[in-house]
Structure 1
Amino acid sequence: MSSVTGGRSPLRGVCAGLALLLVQAACTREPEGGGGGRDGGNGAVAVDVKEARLGRLRAPLTLVGPTQPVELVAVRARVEGHLEKLAVDVGDAVKEGQELGRLSTALLDAEVHETEAGLAEARSQVASAEAGVAQARSALEQSRLAQAQAQVEARRYERLARRGIASRQEAEQRTTEARTARQAVRAAAQQVRTQQSLVAAARARVRAQAALLAAARERRSFASLRSPVNGRVVERFHTVGDLVLAGNEVLRVGDFSQVEVALSVSELELSRVKPGQRVPVRLDALGDTAFTGTVTRVSPQADPLSRLVPVEVVLDNPEGRIGSGLLARVQLDNGGEERLLVLESALRVDQPDAGSGLSSAQGGSGTGADDGLLEPPPEEGRVFVVTGAADGGGARVEERRVRLGARADGQVEILSGLREGERVVVRGERPLSTGTEVRPSALSDGLAPEGGTGGGRE
């Protein structure tokens, strides 16, 4: 019996030792999970933290285009001829009305002389017709006098015949002579009207010849090539001695008092461009010199293939420093006023007739503003601001109500309720509330004391 009892004694000792170890292990783990359910260092909620920074919601809209004179005029030959003289070359400054070159005028001179001879002949015809009118009027006066005399004689012989002093035959003869004189007056008056018609026709020929002469002289003046604007010669297409046909371009003159920049704006950015808008312009050829231009024209029609809208910007060039074909960089929009920005994923949005919830990073969904278009956001929202130690130890969150502005590209403007540099939770592993202890993740901005500025910008 004693030997059996002695054999059980080692087993009991082993069981008692194992029980003691389990109790000690349980006591050792109790502080890690105890403390009334508070989160210890390893129980803090992991969150992504970003700082609220000043910035622009949209990137500046800068486009590049070539410069060209505000007015580019082709100096063309208006008549055919050989180029006898060319007084200017490319780059020369010219004045409006200045003679730039001259074509030969031999044929034009002959045409003018021929027309002058025709005008002289027409004028001589007018003089001859006017002389005919004078003769016809003289003949008419003589006929009227003869008619008056014949009528007097006819009346006198009629009285003598009634008294028996003259025969009836003589009285009838005098009456016939009076009638003949009356017919002669009518014929003379018709001749006067005919001669006056000839004068009118001759004067019309004079006017026609005078018009032809003026046209011939005008064509001869076209042999002189003159500048239509103040500017500079941009191109030359002929040299002295060339046969130039009517309509051929001889020179090209540009007005550089103002310079135009031609741009093409995407239809998605068209709302950022307005006629009359003042915009800064820089030219690579002129270094850091800044110019100011004006949007003078926005085409009402986009290119059907590229969907780009032509836009013209004009800038003054009083010193003539800006030439044609230079590369100009035009900032049509600076991106708007700088405001405090946070990621949209940081928002708990307050919406009427809907419950509040976290955004996509905190259990909710985003706004879908990845296309960069501004959308009207809710007027108010809430964010969680991180407070506590700079290294994240013992950091907690505080719920803050903020007023919202515009949004684009996953960011939203904070108009009030938040200060620059404050740290905002943009993503968490589970829902938060005021006082929740948090642990910034490796993706967070570098932490700094409350109200300071931290690491790099998102």
Structure 2
Amino acid sequence: MRAVMDGFLSRGPFAVGLMLLLTHGACSRGEEGSQKGAPDAGNGAVAVDVKEVQRGRLRAPLTLVGTTQPVQEVAVRARVEGHLETLTVDVGDSVSTDQELGRQDPTLLDAAVHEAEAALAGARAEAASAEAGVAQAKSALEQSRLAAAQAEVEARRYESLAERGISSRQEAEQRATAARTAQQAVQAASQQVLTQQSLATAAQSRIRAQEALLAAAKERRSFATLRSPLSGRVMARFHSPGDVVLAGAEVLRVGDFSQVEVAVSVSELELSRVKPGQKVPVRIDAFGDTSFTGTVARVSPQADPVSRLVPLEVVLENPEGRIGSGLLARVRFENGVQEQLLLLESALIVGLGGPGDGGQPAPSAEGRVFVVKGGESGSAPQVEAREVRVGARADGQAEILSGLQEGERVVVRSQRPLQSGTEVRPSALSDSGPQGVGGGGRE
């Protein structure tokens, strides 16, 4: 080796530099080989990520934002066309059911009522005349019946006299003809009675029709008065006195604020948290930190086909009327269950023998994890296989119903498959623990 060095030295500085470079590379390879052949700082321990088992809820509370509105809102509309004479209320005023809110000009409506009354009077006069005609026809019928009875008696008497030769046959035949004529008069009088009764019935029908028209005209005249359909407060005004209002035009809007609704929409993925009748806390920005209690009143059976959001309504009691309409409200849906022991689902993958960075956890309620034991006083920590019962899973976490205690440390990721008794080296990403168990190793 010395001869080789002497040769390079005799060839100048470039040769000397090349020789030093080759010598450094050989030394580096020798050191690397010695490192591979020697045990690592953890004496062959498997590098793992370790996390503590802690209590919590599987999913965070869900907060939905909506706006307040009265539990019932009604538009007070003009039911007839006319000039708006007066309005007795304005925006913000309290009103009660059937309270008069305003009035339209009733002149044309009064005229229609008077016309209907006159028509009814005419129908009643016609009916009275028809009833008198019925009475006269009945009287004439009675007279015809008496005359017919008398003619029948005379015809029989003269027939008897003719048979005895006291009277002539011609006289008897004349009396018989008079009797038949009297019977025909009775039939004509009977038909006249029926005719007069029909006229009287028609007159009574016309009276009822005119009475209905008069009632309709009076009802239509009542439309000139605007009344509140419910108790509440005036939310908006769309016309002022002096306006000509068309039939169907909205004049006022009244809302029932004894309760208020908050309309929100929930994702179909979170719909399981919502149930009709459920009590939920509601915060309204206008009232700062004050919290109200609402009730889920309605949940729509149909989701929006585009957004996949389901509309629902939350009702709040508002006896003092403090809560108005259009206020921003935040409805909070708690998880609805007690706190449970939570663990990353990747710990169950490690329990299956996987590397902890792929695959899927076992879907059954039973599972296996590796609990880290030891590590005190400088001894190497080891893992212990533990059977656990798994509850619900969400967001990469699983509920542990049995098999673990709060604070125990579980392997959630491993470089190699584990078994009971395997020595491990917790990574720097692990939760802190006893000296030598967590936070002291290097990847």
TM-score (norm 2): 0.84
Which letter does structure 1 place at the counterpart of 2:374? Answer: T
Q: What is aligned with 1:196?
A: 197
Tell me, yes or no, if the aligned pair for 1:346 and 1:384 is still in contact at 8 Å. Answer: no
Tell me, yes or no, if the aligned pair for 1:279 and 1:332 is still in contact at 8 Å. Answer: yes
Q: What is aligned with 1:381?
A: 368
Deviation at 1:419, TM superposition (A): 2.1
Alignment map for 1:398-437 (pairs within 5 Å): 398-399=383-384, 400-437=386-423
Q: Using a 3 Å threshold, how does the CA distance of structure 1 residues 119 and 315 change in structure 2: closer, same or farther?
A: same
Q: Using a 3 Å threshold, how does the CA distance of structure 1 residues 424 and 168 change in structure 2: closer, same or farther?
A: same
Partner secondary structure for residue 277 of structure 2: coil
Tell me, yes or no, if the aligned pair for 2:350 and 2:414 is still in contact at 8 Å. Answer: no
Q: What is aligned with 2:206?
A: 205
Deviation at 1:435, TM superposition (A): 4.5
Alignment map for 1:71-82 (pairs within 5 Å): 71-82=72-83
Tell me, yes or no, if the aligned pair for 1:44 and 1:437 is still in contact at 8 Å. Answer: yes
Moved more, 79-88 or 205-214: 79-88
- CA deviations over 1:174-229 (Å, ceiling 9, x no partner): 11111111111111111111111110011010000000000000001111111111
Q: Using a 3 Å threshold, how does the CA distance of structure 1 residues 127 and 450 change in structure 2: closer, same or farther?
A: farther
> Aligned partners of 1:438 and 1:349: how far apart in 2?
13
Q: Using a 3 Å threshold, how does the CA distance of structure 1 residues 377 and 197 change in structure 2: closer, same or farther?
A: same
1:447 and 2:433 correspond: yes
> Aligned partners of 1:307 and 1:94: how far apart in 2?
40
Partner secondary structure for residue 96 of structure 1: coil
Q: What is aligned with 1:322?
A: 323
> Aligned partners of 1:278 and 1:99: how far apart in 2?
38
Which letter does structure 2 place at the counterpart of 1:360? Answer: G
Q: Using a 3 Å threshold, how does the CA distance of structure 1 residues 166 and 289 change in structure 2: closer, same or farther?
A: same
Deviation at 1:54, TM superposition (A): 1.2
Q: Using a 3 Å threshold, how does the CA distance of structure 1 residues 169 and 434 change in structure 2: closer, same or farther?
A: closer
> Aligned partners of 1:89 and 1:241: how far apart in 2?
15
> Aligned partners of 1:428 and 1:159: how far apart in 2?
143
> Aligned partners of 1:167 and 1:402: how far apart in 2?
137
> Aligned partners of 1:172 and 1:449: how far apart in 2?
151
Q: What is aligned with 1:242?
A: 243
Q: Using a 3 Å threshold, how does the CA distance of structure 1 residues 166 and 433 change in structure 2: closer, same or farther?
A: closer
Deviation at 1:407, TM superposition (A): 1.9
Deviation at 1:294, TM superposition (A): 2.1
Tell me, yes or no, if the aligned pair for 1:347 and 1:359 is still in contact at 8 Å. Answer: no
Partner secondary structure for residue 239 of structure 1: coil
> Aligned partners of 2:319 and 2:397: how far apart in 1?
44
Tell me, yes or no, if the aligned pair for 1:394 and 1:438 is still in contact at 8 Å. Answer: no
Tell me, yes or no, if the aligned pair for 2:78 and 2:250 is still in contact at 8 Å. Answer: yes
> Aligned partners of 1:66 and 1:379: how far apart in 2?
45
CA RMSD of aligned residues (A): 2.6
Partner secondary structure for residue 203 of structure 1: helix
> Aligned partners of 1:141 and 1:58: how far apart in 2?
99
Partner secondary structure for residue 73 of structure 2: strand
Tell me, yes or no, if the aligned pair for 1:394 and 1:437 is still in contact at 8 Å. Answer: no
> Aligned partners of 1:125 and 1:357: how far apart in 2?
106
Tell me, yes or no, if the aligned pair for 1:386 and 1:425 is still in contact at 8 Å. Answer: no
Q: Which of 353, 357, 375 is the aligned partner of 1:357?
A: 353
Deviation at 1:258, TM superposition (A): 1.6
Tell me, yes or no, if the aligned pair for 1:388 and 1:450 is still in contact at 8 Å. Answer: yes
1:298 and 2:291 correspond: no
> Aligned partners of 1:449 and 1:314: how far apart in 2?
55
> Aligned partners of 2:390 and 2:135: how far apart in 1?
102
Tell me, yes or no, if the aligned pair for 2:356 and 2:412 is still in contact at 8 Å. Answer: no
Partner secondary structure for residue 382 of structure 1: strand
Q: Using a 3 Å threshold, how does the CA distance of structure 1 residues 201 and 40 change in structure 2: closer, same or farther?
A: closer
> Aligned partners of 2:344 and 2:174: how far apart in 1?
131
Which letter does structure 1 place at the counterpart of 2:379? Answer: G
> Aligned partners of 2:359 and 2:398: how far apart in 1?
11
Q: What is aligned with 2:379?
A: 394
Which letter does structure 2 place at the counterpart of 1:156? Answer: R
Deviation at 1:358, TM superposition (A): 3.9
Which letter does structure 1 place at the counterpart of 2:360? Answer: T
Tell me, yes or no, if the aligned pair for 1:56 and 1:335 is still in contact at 8 Å. Answer: no
Partner secondary structure for residue 376 of structure 2: coil
Q: Using a 3 Å threshold, how does the CA distance of structure 1 residues 157 and 428 change in structure 2: closer, same or farther?
A: closer
- CA deviations over 1:63-104 (Å, ceiling 9, x no partner): 111111111111111111111111111111111111111111
> Aligned partners of 2:112 and 2:335: how far apart in 1?
65
Q: Using a 3 Å threshold, how does the CA distance of structure 1 residues 152 and 41 change in structure 2: closer, same or farther?
A: closer
> Aligned partners of 2:335 and 2:106: how far apart in 1?
59
Deviation at 1:252, TM superposition (A): 0.8
1:346 and 2:347 correspond: yes
Which letter does structure 2 place at the counterpart of 1:398? Answer: V
Tell me, yes or no, if the aligned pair for 2:355 and 2:416 is still in contact at 8 Å. Answer: no
Partner secondary structure for residue 421 of structure 1: coil
Among the aligned pairs, what percent are the same residue? 72
Tell me, yes or no, if the aligned pair for 2:76 and 2:252 is still in contact at 8 Å. Answer: yes
- CA deviations over 1:127-156 (Å, ceiling 9, x no partner): 111111111111111111111111111111
Tell me, yes or no, if the aligned pair for 1:59 and 1:335 is still in contact at 8 Å. Answer: no
Alignment map for 1:160-239 (pairs within 5 Å): 160-239=161-240
Partner secondary structure for residue 283 of structure 2: strand
Deviation at 1:241, TM superposition (A): 0.9
> Aligned partners of 2:303 and 2:70: how far apart in 1?
23
Partner secondary structure for residue 347 of structure 1: helix
> Aligned partners of 1:209 and 1:195: how far apart in 2?
21
> Aligned partners of 2:421 and 2:363: how far apart in 1?
32
Deviation at 1:434, TM superposition (A): 4.2
Which letter does structure 2 place at the counterpart of 1:414? Answer: I
Deviation at 1:41, TM superposition (A): 5.5
Structure 1 runs, 4 residues or longer, greater than 6 Å off: none
Unpaired segments of 5 or more residues in structure 1?
1-28, 351-355, 369-374
Tell me, yes or no, if the aligned pair for 2:268 and 2:308 is still in contact at 8 Å. Answer: yes
Q: What is aligned with 2:112?
A: 111
> Aligned partners of 1:436 and 1:197: how far apart in 2?
114
Q: Which of 356, 360, 383 is the aligned partner of 1:367?
A: 360
